[in-house]
């Protein structure tokens, strides 16, 4: 004779006066399924991975300010030696880390305008160090009442002054700056009284700014502004001359 008695989560099986403990088969299957589902969840999470920041760090390695924008965003200015960091949340998994391409447009008083594309990766920092590739000419109007209406800046070995570089007069106490390739440059200014001042053969070094004060350091000359030069100097520049207006 076999008697089955309910006891807790299983059944007691009695046969020939002996009692045997057996597991409920349905309950055992349910536990196995729970374990399997748990392992599947862990596996899915493991494969899916997680997120981590990818960072772009920009540093001003020049002797003056630089300014830049990221992905056509707002302009950001850095002083000498300063850094700026921006992060994006990117995914990571066993298959690799997500990457993002970032566009950076930058320039500075000693840096010609340029655009670069940098790749940012999850879990790491991409460093963009901006170095000088030029020097600067800064013209200050150090008069009390005259306005500078024309500015000509040309390489010393060029026989022509070129075009007037300003459209708005430089008032008393005001200044304008141009980035130039290192080498020898000539500078000429004309004020609102028609006075012509010039200073020839000025060496502009890499990552340096030379400030010019026309009313104290220039020679007043009796000739028309611009056009062809009357004196030509041999330039020390070994690259194509370049000039770019700044703030």
Q: Are 86 and 55 in contact (CB under 8 A)?
A: yes
Q: What percent of the chain has pLDDT over 90?
A: 72
Show which of 109, 130, 151 is a domain's final residue.
Answer: 130
Strand spans (E) along 49-182: 50-60, 66-70, 76-78, 83-93, 96-97, 99-108, 111-121, 125-130, 135-140, 148-155, 175-180
Cα-based distances in Å from 54 to 50, 115, 198, 242: 13, 20, 52, 36
Residues 221 and 196 in one domain: yes
Residues 6+ apart with CB under 8 A from 7: none
What band does 7 get if pLDDT is binned at 50, 70 and 90?
very low
For the cut 50, the answer to whether the pLDDT of residue 9 exceeds it is no
Residue 49: the pLDDT is 61
* Residue 138: both structure tokens together: 């800064």
Residues 70 and 124 in one domain: yes
User: How many domains does the structure of the chain reveal?
Assistant: 3
* Residue 188: both structure tokens together: 């000429």
What does DSSP assign to residue 48? H
Residues 30 and 98 in one domain: no
241 vs 184: CA distance, rounded Å:
10
64-73 average pLDDT score: 98
Residue 236: the pLDDT is 57
156 vs 34: CA distance, rounded Å:
84
Residues 87 and 185 in one domain: no
Q: How far apart are the first and last CA of the chain?
A: 105
Among the listed ranges 16-30, 48-62, 92-106, which one has the minimum average pLDDT value?
Answer: 16-30
Residues 75 and 40 in one domain: no
Q: Are 141 and 148 in contact (CB under 8 A)?
A: yes
* Residue 167: both structure tokens together: 């459209």
176-197 average pLDDT score: 97
Residues 38 and 65 in one domain: no
Q: Establish how many alpha carbons lie within 13 A of residue 48's alpha carbon, considering only the half-sphere containing its beta carbon.
A: 7
For the cut 50, the answer to whether the pLDDT of residue 17 exceeds it is yes
153-162 average pLDDT score: 96
For the cut 50, the answer to whether the pLDDT of residue 28 exceeds it is yes
Residues 230 and 141 in one domain: yes
99-109 average pLDDT score: 98
Residues 153 and 190 in one domain: yes
Q: Which domain holds residue 205?
A: 136-245
Show which of 87, 107, 130 is a domain's final residue.
Answer: 130
pTM over 0.75: yes
Show which of 130, 158, 185 is a domain's final residue.
Answer: 130
Residues 216 and 140 in one domain: yes
- pLDDT averaged over every residue in the chain: 87
Among the listed ranges 8-22, 81-95, 196-210, which one has the minimum average pLDDT value?
Answer: 8-22
State the residue for tokens 């010609």.
112
98-124 average pLDDT score: 98
For the cut 60, the answer to whether the pLDDT of residue 96 exceeds it is yes
What CATH number is attached to the domain comprising 163?
2.60.40
Q: How many residues does the chain have?
A: 247
User: What confidence tens digit (pLDDT) does each residue in 200-226 have?
Assistant: 999 999 999 999 999 999 999 999 999
Residues 145 and 125 in one domain: no
Residue 44: the pLDDT is 54
What is the C-alpha radius of gyration for the chain, rounded to an integer number of angstroms?
A: 37
Residue 51: the pLDDT is 83
Residues 116 and 54 in one domain: yes
Residues 220 and 198 in one domain: yes
């Amino acid at each position: 004779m076999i008697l089955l008695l309910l006891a807790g989560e299983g059944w007691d099986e009695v046969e020939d006066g002996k009692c045997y403990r057996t597991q409920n088969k349905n309950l055992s299957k349910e536990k196995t399924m729970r374990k399997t589902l748990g392992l599947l969840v862990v596996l899915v999470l493991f494969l899916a991975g997680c997120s981590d920041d990818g960072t772009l760090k920009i540093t001003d390695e020049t002797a003056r300010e630089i300014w830049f924008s990221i992905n056509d965003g707002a302009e950001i200015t850095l002083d000498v030696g300063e850094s700026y960091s921006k992060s994006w949340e990117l995914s990571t998994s066993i298959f690799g880390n997500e990457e993002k391409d970032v566009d950076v447009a930058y320039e500075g008083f000693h840096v010609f305008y340029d655009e670069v594309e940098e790749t940012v990766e999850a879990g790491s920092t991409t460093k963009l160090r901006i170095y000088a590739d030029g020097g600067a000419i800064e013209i200050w109007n150090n008069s009390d009442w005259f306005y500078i209406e024309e500015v000509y800046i040309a390489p010393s070995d060029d026989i022509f002054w070129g075009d007037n570089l300003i459209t708005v007069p430089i008032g008393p106490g005001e200044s304008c700056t141009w980035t130039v390739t290192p080498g020898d440059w000539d500078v000429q200014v004309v004020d609102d009284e028609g006075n012509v001042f010039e200073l020839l053969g000025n060496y502009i070094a890499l990552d340096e700014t030379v400030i010019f004060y026309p009313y104290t350091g220039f020679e007043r000359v009796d000739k028309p502004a611009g056009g062809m030069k009357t004196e030509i100097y041999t330039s020390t520049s070994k690259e194509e001359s370049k000039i770019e207006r700044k703030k």
